[in-house]
A and B are shown apart, each in its own frame.
Chain A
Amino acid sequence: KNQVEQSPQSLIILEGKNCTLQCNYTVSPFSNLRWYKQDTGRGPVSLTIMTFSENTKSNGRYTATLDADTKQSSLHITASQLSDSASYICVVSAISQNFVFGPGTRLSVLP
């Protein structure tokens, strides 16, 4: 069964600190993986997308990594800001065109 798991479920950090969010998946055959940021009460916004051949992709202070062998991805946030408080969702697509959403990690950045 195609599944996407994310950890931790929620995370609280202080402003300026770094953090890493995890995504593990069983979706196969793998096509691509996308990280979204969803502010409270808003729609998700795409941060990065990675295909099988890509190991790392950055978008400003956000850096996503992908290990297709272990079927794991991480999203690293550097020098966190209050505006980083949001839910971060991992979405994995299969070559068959099915895609699976993870449950998300709720990040709270405190001053």
Chain B
Amino acid sequence: SQTIHQWPATLVQPVGSPLSLECTVEGTSNPNLYWYRQAAGRGLQLLFYSVGIGQISSEVPQNLSASRPQDRQFILSSKKLLLSDSGFYLCAWGPGTRFNQPQHFGDGTRLSIL
């Protein structure tokens, strides 16, 4: 069966520090991968998606970047965090047959910027 792992579960970082959140998927090949951010009481905002290794599409301009070094690994990064980067970050995957809404989400990372 397919599983998705996301870590860490919570993270507290000072303003200006770097960030690296990791997501891995098991049990499937060539998945579409997604990074979302969810502000408190708000809907999910798609940040990045990837349809293959090294292929990253950004949905909104921001202080973050994403990379996909391996088929089942998706990384969210920042060189210098801003207060506005605080939020709940979710990784998700969907079948790679075509770009479609994600079907399975990780348990998220709660990021607090101080």
Once A42-B108, A43-B105, A43-B107 are accepted as A-B contacts, the answer to whether A97 and B44 lie under 8 Å apart by CB is no
Q: Does A111 contact B (CB under 8 A)?
A: no
Chain A contact residue count (CB 8 A cutoff): 17
The answer to whether B43 touches A93, judged by C-beta atoms less than 8 angstroms apart, is no
Contacts of A102 in B (CB 8 A): 43
Interface centre among B46, B100, B110 (most CB of A within 10 A): B100
For residue B31, CB closer than 8 A to chain A, the reply is no
Judge if B75 is at the interface, Cβ distance under 8 Å. no
Question: Quick check: is A77 within 8 A (CB to CB) of the other chain?
Answer: no
Task: Determine whether the beta carbon of A45 is less than 8 Å from that of B105.
Answer: yes
Could you tell me which A residues sit within 8 Å of B by CB distance?
31, 34, 41-46, 89, 91, 93, 97, 99, 101-104
A-B contact pairs, 27 of them (CB 8 A): A31-B100, A41-B108, A41-B110, A42-B107, A42-B108, A43-B90, A43-B92, A43-B105, A43-B106, A43-B107, A43-B108, A44-B44, A44-B90, A45-B105, A46-B104, A89-B43, A89-B44, A91-B101, A93-B101, A97-B98, A97-B99, A97-B100, A99-B100, A101-B46, A102-B43, A103-B43, A104-B43
